[in-house]
Chains A and B, each alone.
Chain A
Amino acid sequence: MDDPLIVVALVLVAVSATAAVAVRDPARQALVLAVLGTVLAVLFTVLQAPDVALSQLAVGSALTPLLIMLSVRKVRRPQRKKEADR
């Protein structure tokens, strides 16, 4: 724990994970989640676990945001259509 690098990485993960919970709007949550994924990958690298970091990078940087944002778009679509009809 005496390595400042580990402390910085841990603090970053704690901050962005808290922010991911605290933010309410799903689209903004997905943005925070993407940053959390990157920061987690850095933490795993610092803890000398590059395999896990690589998994986290692969899933967290593009795939999870895409799944969340597609779901958000699907949920928002009926509303948008109503607005367009109005």
Chain B
Amino acid sequence: MNGWTVAATATLAAGVGAAAWGVATGPLRRRVVAQNLSTSLACPALLLLSEGYDRPSYVDLALLLALLGPVGTLVFARLLAEDLAADPPRAWGLTYAVAGFGGVVVIAVCVAAGPGRALVKLLVVGALLIGGNLTASRALSGGFAGSRRG
């Protein structure tokens, strides 16, 4: 164990654990937000693990999750639009907090990586992660207005 893996353990236990609890209980508006946050917390955890195990190729995992996690949330935002329109989720504070946490992790991993192409790759992952997270939250709270059938 080193500092990176300890941080990853804490992120998983506190963050993803809370998200797993949130997605399993409560009203639908809470569940979709928890699902969105679970991917945006697991992605920093994967970045931390990649750094902790000292395996740069594990960054691909975080890249894929940052890319596909928001797509998964878009699926729910799109196909549950009618249920969510009646009871839209409001959790912008939490969303921004998690996005900020993702940013902090990306910056920390970037500092550890040092200048080079690997740094730019990490920044791309970070941009996809935060941008995707915020866009997915936007989609959940009324991103699909006139959804009757299409």
Does chain A touch chain B in the assembled complex, meaning CB atoms less than 8 Å apart?
Answer: yes
Using a CB–CB cutoff of 8 Å, the interface residues on chain A facing chain B are 3-5, 8-9, 12, 15-16, 19, 22-23, 27-28, 30-32, 34-35, 38-39, 41-42, 45-46, 48, 50, 53-54, 57-58, 61-62, 65-66, 69-70, 72-73
A15 contacts which chain B residues (CB < 8 A)? 17, 20-21, 24
Residue contacts A-B, CB under 8 angstroms, 7 given: A19-B20, A31-B31, A31-B32, A45-B46, A50-B60, A61-B39, A61-B69
Nearest CB on B from A63, distance (A) = 9
Using a CB–CB cutoff of 8 Å, the interface residues on chain B facing chain A are 1, 5, 8-9, 12-13, 16-17, 19-21, 23-24, 28, 31-32, 34-35, 38-39, 42, 45-46, 49, 53, 55, 57-58, 60-61, 64-65, 68-69, 71-72, 75-76, 79-80, 83
Complex: A53 Cα to B69 Cα, angstroms: 14
Check B79–A42 contact: CB distance below 8 A: no
Most buried by B among A3, A31, A34, A45: A31
Check A31–B17 contact: CB distance below 8 A: no
The chain B residue sitting closest to A64, CB to CB, is B72
Check B17–A12 contact: CB distance below 8 A: yes
B16 contacts which chain A residues (CB < 8 A)? 12, 38-39, 42
The chain A residue sitting closest to B21, CB to CB, is A15
Number of A-B contacts (CB under 8 A): 115
Do most interface residues of chain A lie in helix, strand or loop, or is the interface mixed? helix
A28 contacts which chain B residues (CB < 8 A)? 28, 31
Most buried by A among B1, B24, B69, B76: B24
The chain A residue sitting closest to B74, CB to CB, is A62
